[in-house]
Amino acid sequence: MSFPDGFLWGVAFAANQVEGGFDADGKGLSTADVVPFRDPNARNYTALEALMRASDEEIATARTVEGGSGYPKRYGVDFYHRYREDVDLFAELGITALRLSIAWTRIFPNGDDAEPNQAGLDFYRDLFTRLRERGIEPIVTLSHYEMPLALVADGRDGWADRSVIDLYTRYVDTVVRELHPLVTYWLTFNEINTTLLEPYTGGGVVTREGENTVQKAWQAVHHQYVASARAVRIIKDIDPQAQVGCMLARMLHYPATSAPGDVLAALEANDLNLLHTDVQVRGAYPTFTGRLWAEQGITVDMAPGDAEELAAGTVDFLSFSYYMSLVSAADPSQYGITGGNIFSSIRNPHLEVTDWGVHHDPVGLRIALRDMWDRYQVPLFVVENGLGAQDEVGPDGRVDDPYRIEYLRTHIAQIGEAIDDGVRVLGYTAWGGLDIIAASTSQMSKRYGLIYVDQDNEGNGTLSRTPKASFDWYQQVIAENGATL
């Protein structure tokens, strides 16, 4: 097992989960800023698609609330004001890449503003400069589960409205022109398949009475494909040396049994997951899409020239998240269900699960890497992988987290095996560096970080940062380029 010279070792997080400063320096409200906190004990982790939504009524209520109380993503972990010390900690960790996102509403607060917000551009320029000075490559996601709320509220349709393509590409053009000397790797959308799984989170599509939300979600994701293709061309025109990638929540499905019906169910689930990367890497919808839409009664409105745009705007590399594998069956009702990240699954009896029902399946990551390499033959990048857990602070003020070390160790080792198999992997960025506000649950107690942040679910705490035992372990892994795994 080996890792090549230049392999990018890093951590990852999203602006809406760390930055805070939701109303600072001209920032506008985003879709993430109106998703309220709910008691984790009252949540159904096998129905996560309902956890991240916001109705018109909830949005209207949230807009009347001043401050961040009840809306954890408004305050995050105050990275917006503490990024200098956090960058110093990341440099101490020894990472060579930080995958992060730009908050669209820091640049265009309402999405359709006449001019960009200079304070937002200045913030990211200083952040990226500091990273570069410390030898850390920014891996920048342009849209990560947040978009201007003004494009969603008051009856507007988010990404289901085709006009958002032009607003997004103007935003992309603006930030890339301003920041491209500091950035080599760009990702157009985070986990683009989430728009079908959870339309509000991924596409700003609000579920409304009398509307076909599934139809709107498919329309929204088509618009995102077109926008991604245009973004690729915009970025390449500005900086021909830039590398532009797509990003998928990889949902690897196994059949529950060797029964042909179960095998077919798993095949169809995997094909649906990879449909998104088929479009962005190959430049066209796969052939099964027509039957899929017909069976679901879906009609996607495509403008003249869309097919040509998709073909002309394919990505340079494929990045993805991997947390768990899933199981499919022709009749899933006969099996028990476990939870997960955004999606749930039939319980796999051969795998252990975390407190949140996530299957611990590091070999599945190797399988996913080999499968996608064989399918696409483009470089791959594991940009999200980590363990959410309830950490305990010890008497010495530190967190001893051998469970996180074991999770990361076993998954990173399988990346090394895939590289030895011949798969080209650009790097690995563990989720989430710092403890952050959880995407699916808006809680702080589901901790992913290598660095402990003193803050509870209600936002109380000093916000002090303390490296965990996993920080020291990962620091050594990076220093040795994975040689001792």
407, 324 Cβ separation under 8 angstroms: no
Other CB atoms within a 10 A radius of the CB of residue 405 amount to: 20
3-class DSSP string for the chain: CCCCCCCEEEEECCHHHHCCCCCHHHCCCEHHHHCCCCCHHHCCCCCHHHCCCCCHHHHHHHHHCCCCCCCHHHCCCCHHHHHHHHHHHHHHHCCCEEEEECCHHHHCCCCCCCCCCHHHHHHHHHHHHHHHHCCCEEEEECCCCCCEHHHCCCCCCHHHCCHHHHHHHHHHHHHHHHHHHHCCEEECCCCCCHHHHCHHHHHCCCCCCCCCHHHHHHHHHHHHHHHHHHHHHHHHHHCCCCEEEEEEECCCEEECCCCHHHHHHHHHHHHHHHHHHHHHHHCCCCCCHHHHHHHHCCCCCCCCCHHHHHHHCCCCEEEEECCCCEEECCCHHHCCEECCCCCCEECCCCCCECCCCCECCHHHHHHHHHHHHHHHCCCEEEEECCCCECCCECCCCCECCHHHHHHHHHHHHHHHHHHHCCCCEEEEEEECCECCCCCCCCCCCCECCCEEECCCCCCCCCCCEEECHHHHHHHHHHHCCCCCC
Q: Which of 19, 146, 384, 417 is an active site residue?
A: 384
CA distance linking residue 265 with residue 462, whole number of Å: 49
Q: Which of 191, 198, 309, 417 is an active site residue?
A: 191
| Placement of tokens 């950490």 in the chain | 391
CA distance linking residue 411 with residue 426, whole number of Å: 15
* Residue 478 φ/ψ, nearest 5 degrees: -65, -45
Q: ω before 432 within 30° of 0 (cis)? A: yes
User: 127 Cβ partners below 8 Å, 6+ apart?
Assistant: 83, 87, 138
85 assigned to active site: no
Tokens in use for 85? 């010390």
392 assigned to active site: no
Active site residues: 191, 384
